[in-house]
Amino acid sequence: MTPILLAITLLLGVTLCYFAACAASPFGNCRKCHGWGFEMKTDRKGRMKRGKDCRRCRATGKRIRIGRWLYNRWARIHRAGTAD
In one-letter notation, the amino acid at residue 83 is A
pLDDT at position 69, please?
94
pLDDT at position 1, please?
74
Rounded CA-CA distance 62/23 in Å is 16
- Mean pLDDT of successive 10-residue segments in the chain (84 residues)? 93 94 91 91 91 92 92 94 83
Strand ranges (DSSP E) for 1-83? 27-29, 38-42, 48-53, 62-64
